Structure 1
Amino acid sequence: MSYFSQATDYLLYRMRAFKLHGVHSPFVFDLYHNVLHHTGHFPAYDHVEALRDELLQDERELQVTDFGAGSKHINQNKRKIKAIAKTSAKPAKYGQLLFRLVNHFQPNTLVELGTSLGLSTCYLAEARKNSTIYTFEGCPNIAEVARTNFKKLRLQNIQVVEGNLDDTFAKQLQQVEQLDFAFLDGNHRYEPTMRYFESCLHKSHENTVLVLDDIYWSGEMKQAWKEVKLHPQVRQTIDLYFVGLVFFRTKQPKENFTLYY
């Protein structure tokens, strides 16, 4: 997608987005006030951002296997770790949002599609250290760096699943009793995104939280986000532009929110 299209999408998002005074749902109002725009500081932020600083200085070069839609910034099979940290890792703002969501909802079983170097995984794990997190990474060399990063932060509740998501995700989900939280950042194309979403539905429940990354990344991702919002099992969605939040709370009306973030 061109930068002009992205700029247009963002302008339209800003025109639609509410701030706190425009939210009438008690559930969303509370989430917006106490989680999305929480301004307090957690020590975990410092741990993960110190790790990010290390990775941004790491000159090691990796042979990369990419099964997804690839990077908009890097189109090479060999990449330096510092380049991956700069262009592929989630910014602190969104990693910390993931932390606050997990800290708020306290899920027991989490999945993350797209480990990369593991910074977002660390935020998830720091927020709920007695949970089980399954994080999926297609590239063995990147997965190995992520494992090292988890050890640095002494995070023991993470299981890395290597391989093509088309082969690993559904198989792993079969071994999970229920899914409480999912961060879908594995393949920015329509068909795989919808397939992973449907797989999550089979293990979801009333309080499951799904986070879809880069919902305006491409025309395919915009179509996927549109269909997710219309899905009959989905009750509430929150569009934050870079990410979309999905809820299944049947006691509340079906509503789609676009909130300024």
Structure 2
Amino acid sequence: MSISQVLGTLYRYARFRQHAGDAHSIHSPFVFHLYTEVLRPDKQYYAFEGIEQHRQRLLRDTRSLEITDFGAGAARSRQRTVQELARRSAQRPQRAQLLFRLVEFLRPAYLVELGTSLGLTTAYLAAPNPQASVVTLEGCPATAALARETLRDTQAQLVVGPLEETLAPALARLPHVDFVYFDANHRREPTLRYFRQCLAKAHEATCFVFDDIHWSREMEQAWQEIQAHPDVTLTLDLFWLGLVFFRQKQPKQHFRLRL
């Protein structure tokens, strides 16, 4: 991140904190339970230790790789070490563990992840239910090779290639999607395009999770358009993550919540 990006993020976070609430501001029983029992607790589970041990191995790995980045515009290649990827690109343990608790609570049968990176978050998504179908899509072949090591003992299926080419066929092979984690191209137009593609396979109990919804003004615009979509009835803005639900039996509601 450049200094201007850091300052922009700090400004957006300060603005978020001014308007965000906590458990006392929640008047939906479903959201209250989700917030107090799933999102806020800092519980430790059996699966965490093994994944975090693998993270530490990656943080010590000095191998250099040719990384192809599709996540912020046109594809570009650069040399990066594995430990740099583990430090900068992998989801932080606290957020990945929040996703684990969310998956454990919702019990989705069909999960899709857009943006595998090193596979650490994928491992967290796959751990709560080994019988679930987990499909994760990664654009960079070198990163995908590392992710295969991470996911060797999981049921996750890794699909490699640009999302513009791999997402539609991957979705076509699934009867529906119960949980989708969007952590790929952090721009408005691709984010909305992926949202619409996955929406075609969603149902009332589906949950979409978007990473870095306040990463830029462009991502904030995408988040606002997703919130306004007529099929979306409930959203939770956690600043770093945005949760989207399609529960048709409740009025449209949007929450900003501090973790």
TM superposition score normalised by structure 1: 0.95
| 1:107 counterpart residue number | 108
Aligned-CA RMSD value: 1.2
The one-letter code sitting in structure 1 at the alignment partner of 2:148 is R
Cα deviation, 1:135-161, whole Å, max 9, x if unaligned, reads 00011111011111112xx21x11101
Structure 1 residue 76 displacement after superposition: 6.3
The one-letter code sitting in structure 1 at the alignment partner of 2:185 is N
Q: Mind listing any 5+ residue stretches in structure 1 that lack a counterpart?
A: none
| 1:169 counterpart residue number | 167
**Helix, strand or coil at the partner of 1:127:** coil
Q: Does residue 150 of structure 1 match 2:148? A: no
| 2:45 counterpart residue number | 42
Structure 1 residue 4 displacement after superposition: 2.1
Question: CA–CA distance in 1 between the matches of 2:42 and 2:149?
Answer: 30
Q: Does residue 59 of structure 1 match 2:50? A: no
Q: Does residue 19 of structure 1 match 2:22? A: yes
| 1:139 counterpart residue number | 140
Question: CA–CA distance in 1 between the matches of 2:161 and 2:110?
Answer: 20
Question: CA–CA distance in 2 between the matches of 1:160 and 1:76?
Answer: 21
Cα deviation, 1:59-82, whole Å, max 9, x if unaligned, reads 111111112217xxxx96111000
Cα deviation, 1:110-137, whole Å, max 9, x if unaligned, reads 0000000000000001112110111000
| 2:6 counterpart residue number | 3
Structure 1 residue 40 displacement after superposition: 2.2
Cα deviation, 1:65-110, whole Å, max 9, x if unaligned, reads 112217xxxx961110000000000000110011001000000000
Question: CA–CA distance in 1 between the matches of 2:137 and 2:166?
Answer: 8
Question: CA–CA distance in 1 between the matches of 2:7 and 2:146?
Answer: 35
The one-letter code sitting in structure 2 at the alignment partner of 1:58 is D
The one-letter code sitting in structure 2 at the alignment partner of 1:145 is L
Structure 1 residue 39 displacement after superposition: 2.8
Question: CA–CA distance in 2 between the matches of 1:35 and 1:160?
Answer: 27
TM superposition score normalised by structure 2: 0.96
Question: CA–CA distance in 2 between the matches of 1:56 and 1:76?
Answer: 21
Percent identity, aligned pairs only? 46
Alpha-carbon contact 2:180-2:208 (below 8 Å) kept: yes
Structure 1 residue 38 displacement after superposition: 1.8
Cα deviation, 1:179-236, whole Å, max 9, x if unaligned, reads 0000000100111000000011100001000000000111111100010000000000
Question: CA–CA distance in 1 between the matches of 2:68 and 2:43?
Answer: 38
Question: CA–CA distance in 2 between the matches of 1:220 and 1:50?
Answer: 35
5 Å matches for 1:1-261? 2-69=5-72, 77-151=78-152, 154-155=153-154, 157-261=155-259
Structure 1 residue 37 displacement after superposition: 1.0
Alpha-carbon contact 2:139-2:160 (below 8 Å) kept: yes
Query: Which stretches of structure 1, 4 residues or more, deviate above 6 A after TM superposition?
Result: none
Question: CA–CA distance in 2 between the matches of 1:128 and 1:101?
Answer: 12
The one-letter code sitting in structure 2 at the alignment partner of 1:224 is A
